[in-house]
């Protein structure tokens, strides 16, 4: 069993899921006037929904997670809480996934309170029903067992973070220099997916981590310089 269950999502699946989500919305006979993407994860699904539902107007609000020092808990906030005149409009707020549910709930509440449209509904490609405290009005896939869905628009970011997680948290690696073959074995063990499945993203991620100064590469061996030593 992988320590972190990861499912690689293809571009084709994203198109299929977005189309399925658009169909569900249409079947409910509710047609939005305006789509609002929750940036950044909701951008691609929101754009595809506009295409499938023939909607012209697409805006975005950006969410961000803040760690509240006193509580050591994460809280979602809107980074640019701008106001627009959308009264009398029906708004569909779209995100990729509802995990905790904080983000979509926050976006919905903000839009209702500050933009005062006639109606706001929410949609996500996926809804993790076992952990979410918020259920979107529309979703395409209900997920029961928590999984990290590796969406195509965050490949480089995710692979880089997965690699760093191994360097930071795996006792077999801390403070050591390791070769790429061993790193690949650990990656498979941790995340349950073969690095080969990520194609060029694997080497791009390693290069990025070296360029950003998180890893060094010497004689073919990688070492983390920001992970502390044993």
CB of 47 to ligand ADP, least distance (A): 15
CB of 165 to ligand ADP, least distance (A): 15
Which residue's C-beta sits nearest to ligand ADP? 41
123 makes contact with ligand ADP (CB under 6 A): no
117 makes contact with ligand ADP (CB under 6 A): no
Ranges assigned E (strand) in the chain: 6-8, 34-39, 57-68, 73-78, 90-98, 119-128, 138-143, 148-150, 177-179, 215-218, 221-224
Rounded to 5 degrees, φ, ψ at 151 are: -75, 150
CB of 73 to ligand ADP, least distance (A): 12
Interacting residue with ligand ADP among 97, 111, 178, 227 (CB under 6 A): 97
Q: Which residue from 44, 120, 54, 52 is spatially nearest to 89, judged by alpha carbons?
A: 120
17 makes contact with ligand ADP (CB under 6 A): no
Residue found under tokens 């079947």: 27
Interacting residue with ligand ADP among 98, 120, 163, 227 (CB under 6 A): 98
Interacting residue with ligand ADP among 62, 100, 177, 207 (CB under 6 A): 100
CB of 134 to ligand ADP, least distance (A): 7
Q: Which range binds ligand ADP by CB under 6 A, 29-37, 92-100, 161-169, 196-204?
A: 92-100
- In angstroms, the Cα distances linking 123 to 26, 32, 126 are 12, 11, 9
Contact residues for ligand ADP (CB under 6 A)?
Answer: 41, 76, 95-104, 148-149
């Amino acid at each position: 069993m992988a320590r972190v269950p990861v499912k690689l999502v293809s571009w084709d699946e994203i198109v299929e899921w977005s189309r399925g989500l658009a169909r569900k919305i249409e079947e409910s006979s509710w047609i939005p006037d305006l789509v609002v993407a929750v940036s950044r994860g909701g951008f691609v699904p929101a754009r595809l929904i506009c295409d499938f539902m023939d909607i012209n107007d697409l805006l975005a609000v950006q969410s961000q997670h803040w760690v509240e020092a006193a509580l050591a808990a994460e809280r979602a906030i809107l980074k640019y809480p701008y106001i627009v005149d959308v009264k009398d409009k029906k708004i569909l707020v779209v995100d990729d996934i509802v995990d905790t549910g904080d983000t979509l709930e926050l976006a919905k509440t903000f839009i209702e309170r500050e933009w005062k449209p006639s109606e706001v509904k929410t949609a996500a490609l996926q809804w993790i029903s076992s952990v979410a405290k918020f259920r979107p009005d529309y979703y395409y896939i209900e997920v029961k067992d928590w999984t990290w869905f590796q969406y195509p628009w965050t490949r480089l970011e995710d692979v880089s973070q997965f690699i760093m997680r191994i360097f930071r948290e795996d006792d077999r690696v801390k403070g050591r220099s390791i070769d790429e073959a061993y790193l690949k074995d650990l990656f498979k063990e941790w995340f349950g997916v073969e690095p080969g499945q990520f194609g060029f993203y694997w080497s791009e991620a390693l290069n990025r981590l070296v360029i950003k100064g998180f890893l060094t590469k010497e004689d073919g061996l990688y070492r983390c310089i920001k992970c502390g030593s044993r």
